[in-house]
Structure 1
Amino acid sequence: MTGKKPPLTKKRNQKPDLGRGWIYVILLFILFSFWYSGGQTGIQEITWKQFEENYLKDQEVDQLVVVNKQRVEVYIKKEHLDDPQYQNLPENIFTGTPSEGPHFFFTIGSVEVFHDQLEKAQADLPHSDHVPVKYRQETNWWTNLIWLLPFFFLIFLWIFIIRGSASRMKNMGSSVFNFSQSKAREMEKGGKNKVVFDDIAGLEEAKEEIYEMVKFLKSPEKFRNLGAKIPKGVLLVGPPGTGKTMLAKAVAGEADVPFFSLSGSEFVEMFVGVGAARMRDLFKKAKEKAPSIIFIDEIDTVGRARGKAHAFQSNDEREGTLNQLLAELDGFDTDTGVIVLAATNRGDVLDPALLRPGRFDRHIHLELPNLKERVAIFKVHMRDLKLAPDIEPELLASQSPGFSGADIANICNEAALIAARREKKAVDKHDFMDAIDRIIGGLEKKSKIITPEEKERISIHEAGHVTVSWFLEHSYPVLKVSIIPRGKSLGAAWYLPEEHQIITKKQLFDAICVGLGGRAAEKIIFDEVSTNALDDLEKVTKQAYAMVMNYGLSDELRNLSYYDSTGRYEQSLQKPFSENTAEKIDKEVQQIIDDAFDRTERILQDHQDQLQQLAKSLKDKEILHKEDIEKILGKKKVNKPYSSLFP
């Protein structure tokens, strides 16, 4: 019976490990140094006085050797080496016996002085008993080799870079000689961490539209027989956290094909031409494993529109990379089975050549999830949590308007962390509410020192927001108001906004009035204003400019919009309007804010008693919920007397 040959422990063509060879060379050099020195472990240094009194007078010295006119080596006679006083002499490391010498040494200033001292010390002895003196010149090889050490270090460093980088990084494309290789992370077919459409809640329309890619990758013959051509590129556009990357992974997971994923910034390097070379290498690898998917995240890094602003640069690496991407999209046909998915938050700044038919044929816009989709997203992220019976995903979804899928995932994780911190056995409703508050407003800072005067002013400020919002027709209902500092804010109010696709001029005007409610309340109660309204004024100013410049909702500049959906004005050195128009815009914005502030003041003056009562209750309790506010302000309803105050 013949068995299989045992595997070889070392490949025939495998190169020797030079790393160990360096160690062997160093050890051999050390042994050679010991051999050259006679295998001695060390020589004891003495003074001239010790030499004269202990060794020379007793006639135990065999000879003296003057080395380089600076050092005198002393050799003891062999018959005296067994004496007790010489038991600590240097020994030969190979034989273990006392060495033949030298046994001691001392330094001299000059040879002439040394001779005079030696003659005086031996003046009473017969001339035949004088110690013989020899002279020797030695070369210090270590001193001569010091200037060669930098060259040896550079040679060793070069060998380490060449061999180490090539062996450890050749599969990562990170070697000093592999800059042109793509850094795409590849998920092989049948991977363990596979994402499918069931793992993505919401985005039903987007999943339905992109499912065609999955069908093509699974059975391309069905489309080819009918003469249909699948789109070469699919562009996913949407706000951050809406699931663009997850959707691309789900396409690869459902189709069960290789998936190449990388970011657009990985094409940009300090070396010219590296981005284009990596783009070529990426498509080459994808074609070799077709059918496959290429996913480029944040494609606006290299796909930004080319314009006059880039003309001042002599060579733009991003533009070269974009040109190579355009050539690759045109160069491979649909029969290769390679589909390019790209994601961006700024679809308005992409180059038109990238978006034309034949390249990125299909554009899928992902929006922030609505109420129904948020419920589904909460259910997906709650699957791995241990929940209490009082959890209602519908309630949590209603409390998180405008949240993306990533925000909801963060809420679920934060609620679990809070429950664990409180040593609970399950995550309950209170934990989720605290998690939402923390993500919206930040971490509570109850330890922040606030004076009683500041606390009173903060209470008036927040009560002003709530009061104005309560008596406006188009304002959002208040859920909770607090004067506990959170993050950078000293107080905050939580609203429940309705989800509208279209916002009217009255609704925008009411929102500006609510934003000015805090400053107006301070002016009415304290007859002066403070810096507490910084965040409010920032939001109000942006809303007013959006009304005038984007939506054409001003009286002076009617039906005009300077909003640029292409993003080219950002790269331009000129504004899309004249200086005269800019002055009109500023006047219109100021007029809108002045009208809103006057209206806000009138509302607060008509309800000043309720304002002060609400502020006092807020100052005492620090947190008021909707039920507490209703006891003071009554049920929220449409306030007819103020309908005539709209501009």
Structure 2
Amino acid sequence: MANNKKTPNKKPKLNPYWIYGAIIAIFIAMQFFNTNSLQDSSTTTPSEFMKYLSEGDVETVEIVNKREAKVYLTDEALQKEEHKNSKPSTLLPTASKLPNYSFEFGDLQNFENQVNAAIQDQGLKTHIEYKTEQNYWGDFIIGFLPFILLIGVWIFIMRRMSGGGGGGAGGQIFNIGKSKAKLFDQNTDVKTSFKDVAGLEGAKEEIQEIVDFLKNPEKYTSLGGKIPKGALLVGPPGTGKTLLAKAVAGEAKVPFFSLSGSDFVEMFVGVGASRVRDLFKQAKEKSPAIIFIDEIDAIGRARGKSNMSGSNDERENTLNQLLTEMDGFGTNTNVIVLAATNRADVLDSALMRAGRFDRQIFVDLPDIREREEIFKVHLKPIKKSENLDTDFLAKQTPGFSGADIANVCNEAALIAARQGKKAVDKQDFLDAVDRIIGGLEKKNKIITPSEKKAIAFHEAGHATVSWMLEHAAPLVKVTIVPRGRSLGAAWYLPEERLIVRPEQMLDEMCAALGGRAAEKVIFNKISTGALSDLEKVTKQARAMVTVYGLSDKVGNLTYYDSSGQNEYGFTKPYSEKTAELIDKEISDIIEAQYERAIKLLEDNKDKLTELADVLLEKEVIFKDNLEKIFGKRPFETELKPLLDK
């Protein structure tokens, strides 16, 4: 089979800058040959000149431009030994006589008086001549230098403006309207594949189907199916949306354009829309292709109906151009758009409709099984101990995203290295989880004995109430060592529920108020240490009343807006009377759980005191310490003890 590839033309192209350089070199050469460098006369001093003058060796003194003297010797003087080296040498032949010496003098009047006096006193025949020399080429270059610079800048700008081709993005000054997308194709080494994406089975299946469609389109088109226009990855931060896109770039054997939504944003008008046009133009030229837009909410926010200022016009024009390119009058089906966002509620409805984003793939936080798979991926490069149980680690990290788990593995490796270990063990991972959740330990923080006692009873109150309640989360450990901004902390292992019942929420609120209730029961005083607890229970109570409709007095109503539009409004979706009812109901729920916590602690005051004393002594207590004081927990859960020490 003949090779139809064109052999590259290896002849050097004529660069116009070479021409500009040659012209400049010619000007410099002309300037050089026009100066005194063409004639090499010996230099002397005024005192030596006066000596030569008094001896009668000087035939003519030529004063040039009132500051330089050129000396011409007589023929007899040229025969003397001291003047043998004064014969001038020249690069070019010349008919005129050249000076033998030259020097510069100070004041012209004084110099003339000295020379005239010497000539008259000794009766010399020396002539004095005056001459004005002018460098025409130097003056010409200096005069035209500003014009030369302006012409050079103009040529540079014109070349940059025409660098991108004809119209479209190339017509913009400095290619500012050109797409900033990074291209990945079969020539690009992208090592990420679907094997590196742990969990997310449903999302991977749909994404793999899109990749498979591009590889084997006949499998689907033979049955009349069409390639989907786009897929939108939606989910909380750190769940692996961008990682899925990287896997697509590594797996797909088609050009993959990757960029962020903010890459379309620019201070110049029309740049965003121009970049969208250029992006899809490049993708269509290389079709079939995939475009990945990360953080698409930067340009895809819902368009306002009454735009009071022009601040959003540019973003809306960019969005309009994107809508047209994805599903407009002249589009084709050879370009697939992948996008990722964690703010799907603020996206424009026209962008979300079928025909543009046919599929919305929800990438949720991983469950316990998926967390174990994610741990296995991130533990591959880590030197871990042989008895490390990934199932245990997965149970210890409820609510962690994939990015959080990667951070836990890295922190555990750093902690083990800091302690000089040869392998990362179970305790290092537990310390890493504590470090991420609570912050760094501050053992040198100055705490008075009375404050430490109050903190111990506060944390013991949390532990006691949660131990006594059926639906409260099982306790893992309690510490009074300051971490981050907190003076003490209690670690729980929440049950991963899909739905939450009112009694479960109330038990959690009662356990959260156990710290303040313990301070009230023991010291009959309360402190500011319960700030985070109060914030938590207030949010829970407000959600019960205004979001989930779990209040009998307010009823089965919700004021939650999933579209997120109400948060920008200036009016509440309920009357002032209802607002008072909501506030009263929230307060009643919280106070009822506070009184419940106080009663529980008063009934178990001796055990609370014993637990606080153990906590003051050891600073960190675990589940087995509570079992020694309280006995087995009355409400056994399906979860086995996860942390015993």
TM-score range, shorter chain: 0.7 to 0.9
Q: 1:397 — aligned with what?
A: 394
State the distance in 1 between where 2:332 and 2:507 align: 57
Deviation at 1:344, TM superposition (A): 1.6
Q: 1:645 — aligned with what?
A: none
Identify the match of residue 121 of structure 2 among 107, 119, 124. Answer: 124
Q: 2:411 — aligned with what?
A: 414
Q: 2:37 — aligned with what?
A: 39
- 1:156-305 equivalent positions in 2, closer than 5 A: 156-160=152-156, 176-189=173-186, 192-193=189-190, 195-251=192-248, 254=251, 256-305=253-302
Q: What amino acid is the match of 1:301?
A: A
The change in CA–CA distance for 1:324 and 1:461 in structure 2 (over 3 A counts) is same
The change in CA–CA distance for 1:180 and 1:210 in structure 2 (over 3 A counts) is same
Q: 1:10 — aligned with what?
A: 10
Q: 1:43 touches 1:104 (CA, 8 Å); kept in 2? A: no
The change in CA–CA distance for 1:599 and 1:116 in structure 2 (over 3 A counts) is farther
Q: 1:134 — aligned with what?
A: 130
Report the more deviating stretch, 630-639 or 254-263.
630-639
State the distance in 2 between where 1:594 and 1:82 align: 123
Residue 506 (1) aligns with residue 496 (2): no
State the distance in 2 between where 1:270 and 1:593 align: 50
The change in CA–CA distance for 1:94 and 1:46 in structure 2 (over 3 A counts) is closer
Q: 1:290 touches 1:336 (CA, 8 Å); kept in 2? A: no
Deviation at 1:16, TM superposition (A): 1.5
The change in CA–CA distance for 1:417 and 1:127 in structure 2 (over 3 A counts) is same
- 1:574-613 equivalent positions in 2, closer than 5 A: 574-613=571-610
Q: What amino acid is the match of 1:73?
A: A
State the distance in 1 between where 2:455 and 2:321 align: 57
Q: 2:467 — aligned with what?
A: 470
State the distance in 1 between where 2:33 and 2:412 align: 73
Residue 353 (1) aligns with residue 375 (2): no
Q: What amino acid is the match of 1:501?
A: L
Q: What amino acid is the match of 1:419?
A: A
Q: 2:31 touches 2:138 (CA, 8 Å); kept in 1? A: no
Q: 1:508 touches 1:543 (CA, 8 Å); kept in 2? A: yes
> Helix, strand or coil: the match of 2:125?
helix
Q: 1:330 — aligned with what?
A: 327
Q: Deviations over 1:309-330 (max 9, x none)?
A: 6454376122222222322333
Q: Deviations over 1:559-607 (max 9, x none)?
A: 2211101122234343323444444433433343333334344444444
TM-score scaled to structure 1, two decimals? 0.80
The change in CA–CA distance for 1:633 and 1:305 in structure 2 (over 3 A counts) is same
State the distance in 2 between where 1:42 and 1:528 align: 103
Deviation at 1:238, TM superposition (A): 1.2
The change in CA–CA distance for 1:207 and 1:86 in structure 2 (over 3 A counts) is same
Q: 1:428 — aligned with what?
A: 425
Q: 2:491 — aligned with what?
A: 494
Q: What amino acid is the match of 1:468?
A: V
Q: 2:295 touches 2:341 (CA, 8 Å); kept in 1? A: yes
> Helix, strand or coil: the match of 1:479?
strand
Q: Deviations over 1:506-536 (max 9, x none)?
A: 3223333333444444555565555444444
Give the root-mean-square deviation of aligned CA atoms: 4.4
Deviation at 1:396, TM superposition (A): 0.3
- 1:561-572 equivalent positions in 2, closer than 5 A: 561-572=558-569
- 1:509-528 equivalent positions in 2, closer than 5 A: 509-522=506-519
Q: 1:643 — aligned with what?
A: none
Deviation at 1:249, TM superposition (A): 4.3
State the distance in 1 between where 2:258 and 2:239 align: 18
Q: 2:548 — aligned with what?
A: 551
Q: 2:95 — aligned with what?
A: none
The change in CA–CA distance for 1:47 and 1:528 in structure 2 (over 3 A counts) is farther
Q: What amino acid is the match of 2:484?
A: G
State the distance in 2 between where 1:521 and 1:118 align: 114
Q: 2:69 — aligned with what?
A: 73
Q: What amino acid is the match of 1:278?
A: R
Q: 1:41 touches 1:93 (CA, 8 Å); kept in 2? A: yes
Q: 1:44 touches 1:103 (CA, 8 Å); kept in 2? A: yes
Identify the match of residue 338 of structure 2 among 328, 336, 341. Answer: 341
Deviation at 1:265, TM superposition (A): 2.0
Deviation at 1:332, TM superposition (A): 7.4
Q: What amino acid is the match of 2:283?
A: A
Unaligned runs of 5+ in 1: 1-5, 640-647
Q: What amino acid is the match of 2:10?
A: K
Q: 2:472 touches 2:507 (CA, 8 Å); kept in 1? A: yes
Unaligned runs of 5+ in 2: 1-5, 93-97, 637-645
The change in CA–CA distance for 1:626 and 1:113 in structure 2 (over 3 A counts) is same
> Helix, strand or coil: the match of 2:366?
coil
Residue 317 (1) aligns with residue 314 (2): yes
Q: 2:52 touches 2:58 (CA, 8 Å); kept in 1? A: yes
Deviation at 1:180, TM superposition (A): 3.5
Q: 1:286 touches 1:292 (CA, 8 Å); kept in 2? A: yes
Deviation at 1:345, TM superposition (A): 0.9
The size of the alignment, in residue pairs, is 623
Q: 2:377 — aligned with what?
A: 380
Q: Deviations over 1:169-224 (max 9, x none)?
A: 99xx8984433333222322485425443332222233344444344334333433
State the distance in 2 between where 1:60 and 1:542 align: 110
State the distance in 2 between where 1:276 and 1:334 align: 16
Q: What amino acid is the match of 1:322?
A: L
State the distance in 2 between where 1:58 and 1:262 align: 88
> Helix, strand or coil: the match of 2:337?
strand
Report the more deviating stretch, 53-62 or 594-603.
53-62
> Helix, strand or coil: the match of 2:104?
strand
